[in-house]
Amino acid sequence: MTGAAALAPATWKRPPLIADARLRWALCLGAAAYLVIGIGSLEVNWARLADGFERGGRFVLAFLQPDFTTRWDDIRRGFVESLTMTVTSTAIGVLLSIPVAIGAASNLAPRWIYSLCRGFVAVSRTLNEIIVAILLVAMFGFGPFAGFLTLTFATIGFMAKLLAEDIEEIAPDQLDALRATGAGFLQQLDFGVLSQVMPRLIGLSMYRLDINFRESAVIGIVGAGGVGDTLNTAMDRYEYDSAAAVILIIIAIVFAAEYSSGWLRKRIQ
Amino acid sequence: MLSLEGLQKRYPTGDLALRGVSLAVGAGEVLGLIGPSGAGKSTLIRCVNRLVEPSAGVIRLEGRDLAPLSGSGLRQARRQIGMIFQEFALVERLTVMENLLSGRLGYTGFWTSWFRRFDSADVARAFELLGRVGLTGMENKRADALSGGQRQRVGIARALMQDPRLLLVDEPTASLDPKTSRQVMRLIIDLCAERGLAAIVNIHDVVLATEFLPRIVGLRAGQVVYDGPAAGVDHDVLTRIYGDEDWTAITQRMDRQRGAGPADDAELEVQAA
């Protein structure tokens, strides 16, 4: 009886991720303790919080009656600047990201170009847009040009990384087949790579257009022009109704971009 | 027309895939390359068009050594060597016509191919080949809309678009059902005969190989262990190539086949000679 059970046990438990039971429990208890101590260390200023709630309430009320008219000229100028910045930086960023992406794909680029391009991508993605904007505003002065450069820089890093990963996943046989016909390197890229990553390229570009528009509203706050500038000014003047108008328009544009890019991506699949 | 002398390939991992393979293929000769997985069959044919860099040895195509070539010299040599793949290796998002015309890339400038304004003679040739492989009217379909057999036909037509002297065929039937496999094999053999092409066909299916291919080369662990007529492949030869196994079922099928179709075999041998 016991012999048969030993040969074929009837119970089975999935082996735990961490084999050592003591280490497993120590990690769980440690995490719980850290959480308790962490919450205990927060200093909450309840008076300030109440104040903030009141201010937040005023802000929410302003949303119910946004004022599009009083500052319309400023708002319009801000949006035109932001949209210009968005479109130009996306277009140029995407164009520049293609060679970087090819350089950052390990199945196409030689080792040293690969390291160089991956390095550039890493730098571009490490630096947050706001930090880059502060730097570029200091270099090129206030205004949308600094914003344009910031967004272009960020676009290259973003697109090159995702596109390079896509390029690395393409079927190697198809490149071999093109190589076997005697096709040159650029022809291999055209027929073998571009054709395979095109839907992803268009989808990512649309997504980046969307991101760049939202970022253009943020980097305006540090002086890089655009609608962020308008929003910042409105907040500084406590004109919450104008600020609400700006935010509502941003939401509308982001929605429109979201739906149109979804539609476009479906079309090109 | 093709001769390999002492071809060796050592992969960076240290594996010696080819240990000095020497092989001569005559003009218009079609040979089957058989052997167990990992014997170096794929490596061997990929060394011929230098998709894999051989570590040592000579690859002579119509008198010219391909091993030292690079850049445009290599591209010109590759134009003369068509390749057919197991998984078809079509660019799936492109149309059938674009896949066919990609066989002309070695002859076409970059901007011409970028705008897809291929030479009208190339386009005419593509339509003609499309008809020859039985895909008339399919030119605007996307490659991923085709069935396996149809895709392999496009793969064959693409290789022929190059106007090659030699075909390298890597497991052409391994992804196809038995009936389609036979049709595709027959098509390849017929086209080689029509155009006087030499071909090296990697193939797993020994019965299919000995039926269609007059000359068989057996590869084991990177070395040629059999090189002779298909009729000479028997129990001993199979054991030499693949190792010990009960081969009776396969040898019986090969014997039956030889009994059933001597005329076909004789015809193929005449073409090979």
pLDDT digits (tens, 9 = 90+) for A7-42: 788 888 888 888 888 999 999 999 999 999 999 898
Across A95-109, B114-128, B194-208, B250-264, least confident range? B250-264
Task: Provide the shortest C-alpha distance from residue A139 to chain B (in Å).
Answer: 40
Place of tokens 């445009």: B72
CA neighbours closer than 13 Å in the CB half-sphere of residue B17? 20
Would you identify the CATH topology of the domain B2-80+164-272? Answer: Rossmann fold (3.40.50)
Q: Are B247 and B235 in contact (CB under 8 A)?
A: yes
Report the share of chain B in percent with pLDDT over 90. Answer: 68
- The confidence score (pLDDT) of residue A158 equals 95
Task: Provide the shortest C-alpha distance from residue B234 to chain A (in Å).
Answer: 34
Report the share of chain A in percent with pLDDT over 70. Answer: 97
Task: Provide long-range contacts, Cβ within 8 A and 24+ apart, for A162-165.
Answer: A162/A200, A162/A204, A163/A97, A163/A98, A163/A101, A163/A197, A163/A200, A163/A201, A163/A204, A164/A100, A164/A101, A164/A102, A164/A104, A164/A105, A164/A117, A164/A121
Name the residue among B46, B56, B50 with its Cα closest to residue B22: B56
Task: Provide the shortest C-alpha distance from residue A175 to chain B (in Å).
Answer: 8
Interface probe, candidates A167, A176, A181, chain B, greatest B C-beta count within 10 A: A181
Residue in chain A nearest B50 by alpha carbon: A180
Average pLDDT over residues B231-258: 86
Q: Are A152 and A93 in contact (CB under 8 A)?
A: yes
CA-based torsion, B185, B186, B188, B193: positive or negative: positive
> DSSP readout, A69-109?
STTHHHHHHHHHHHHHHHHHHHHHHHHHHHHHHHHT-TTTS
Q: Are B167 and B82 in contact (CB under 8 A)?
A: yes
ipTM of the complex, rounded to two decimals: 0.86
Predicted confidence (pLDDT) at residue B248 exceeds the cutoff of 90: no
Predicted confidence (pLDDT) at residue A157 exceeds the cutoff of 60: yes
User: Which residue in the set A186, A196, A199 is minimally distant from B91, CB to CB?
Assistant: A196
Would you state the structure tokens that stand for residue B224, as one six-digit string? 């040629």
pLDDT digits (tens, 9 = 90+) for B144-189: 999 999 999 999 999 999 999 999 999 998 888 989 999 999 999 9
**Is residue B260 very low, low, confident or very high in pLDDT (cuts 50, 70, 90)?**
low
CA-based torsion, B87, B173, B26, B163: positive or negative: negative
Predicted confidence (pLDDT) at residue A258 exceeds the cutoff of 70: yes
CA neighbours closer than 13 Å in the CB half-sphere of residue A227? 27
**Is residue A220 very low, low, confident or very high in pLDDT (cuts 50, 70, 90)?**
confident
Q: Is B49 on the interface with A (CB under 8 A)?
A: yes
Predicted confidence (pLDDT) at residue B19 exceeds the cutoff of 50: yes
Task: Provide the shortest C-alpha distance from residue A186 to chain B (in Å).
Answer: 7
Q: Are B66 and B50 in contact (CB under 8 A)?
A: yes
**Is residue A269 very low, low, confident or very high in pLDDT (cuts 50, 70, 90)?**
low
Chain A residue numbers with beta carbons less than 8 Å from the beta carbon of B78 are 179-182
- The confidence score (pLDDT) of residue B120 equals 93
Q: Is B103 on the interface with A (CB under 8 A)?
A: yes
- The confidence score (pLDDT) of residue B272 equals 42
Instruction: Please state, in angstroms and rounded to a whole number, the distance separating the CA atoms of residues A137 and A130.
Output: 10
Interface probe, candidates B93, B95, B152, B165, chain A, greatest A C-beta count within 10 A: B93
Q: Is B69 on the interface with A (CB under 8 A)?
A: no
Question: What is each CA distance from B148 to A161, A217, B81, B90, B145, in whole angstroms?
Answer: 34, 51, 23, 11, 10
DSSP 8-state class, residue B67: T
Q: Is B125 on the interface with A (CB under 8 A)?
A: no
pLDDT digits (tens, 9 = 90+) for A59-84: 788 778 888 888 888 889 989 999 99
User: Which residue in the set A180, A183, A186 is minimally distant from B81, CB to CB?
Assistant: A180
User: Which residue in the set B46, B79, B91 is minimally distant from A191, CB to CB?
Assistant: B91
Ranges of each domain in chain B: 2-80+164-272, 91-163
Predicted confidence (pLDDT) at residue B263 exceeds the cutoff of 70: no
SS3 category, A132:
helix
**Is residue A210 very low, low, confident or very high in pLDDT (cuts 50, 70, 90)?**
confident
Beta partners for B170? B202
For residues B156 and A43, the model is more confident at B156
Which of A 194-253 lie inside 8 A of B, CB atoms? Answer: 195-196, 198-199
Which class is domain A74-268? mainly alpha
Task: Provide the shortest C-alpha distance from residue A210 to chain B (in Å).
Answer: 27
Would you state the structure tokens that stand for residue A2, as one six-digit string? 């016991």
Q: Is A169 on the interface with B (CB under 8 A)?
A: no
- The confidence score (pLDDT) of residue A206 equals 87
pLDDT digits (tens, 9 = 90+) for A97-137: 999 999 999 989 999 999 999 999 999 999 988 999 999 99
Task: Provide the shortest C-alpha distance from residue B20 to chain A (in Å).
Answer: 23
**Is residue A199 very low, low, confident or very high in pLDDT (cuts 50, 70, 90)?**
confident
CA-based torsion, A210, A211, A213, A217: positive or negative: positive
- The confidence score (pLDDT) of residue A5 equals 52
Quote the pTM value: 0.79
Q: Do B113 and A196 touch (CB under 8 A)?
A: no
Average pLDDT in chain B = 89
CA neighbours closer than 13 Å in the CB half-sphere of residue A20? 5
Average pLDDT in chain A = 89
Q: Do B105 and A184 touch (CB under 8 A)?
A: yes
Beta partners for B201? B32, B169
Within 10 A of A211 (CB to CB), how many other CB atoms are there? Answer: 19
Q: Is B93 on the interface with A (CB under 8 A)?
A: yes
Ranges of each domain in chain A: 74-268
Q: Are B113 and B99 in contact (CB under 8 A)?
A: no
- The confidence score (pLDDT) of residue A4 equals 54
Burial code of B43-60, b = ≥16 C-beta within 10 A, e = fewer? Answer: bbbbbbbbbbebeebebe
- The confidence score (pLDDT) of residue A66 equals 86
> Which secondary structure element, helix H or strand E, spans residue B72, and what is its range?
helix B71-79
Instruction: Please state, in angstroms and rounded to a whole number, the distance separating the CA atoms of residues A188 and A109.
Output: 13
Residue in chain A nearest B89 by alpha carbon: A174
**Is residue B129 very low, low, confident or very high in pLDDT (cuts 50, 70, 90)?**
very high
Q: Is B174 on the interface with A (CB under 8 A)?
A: no
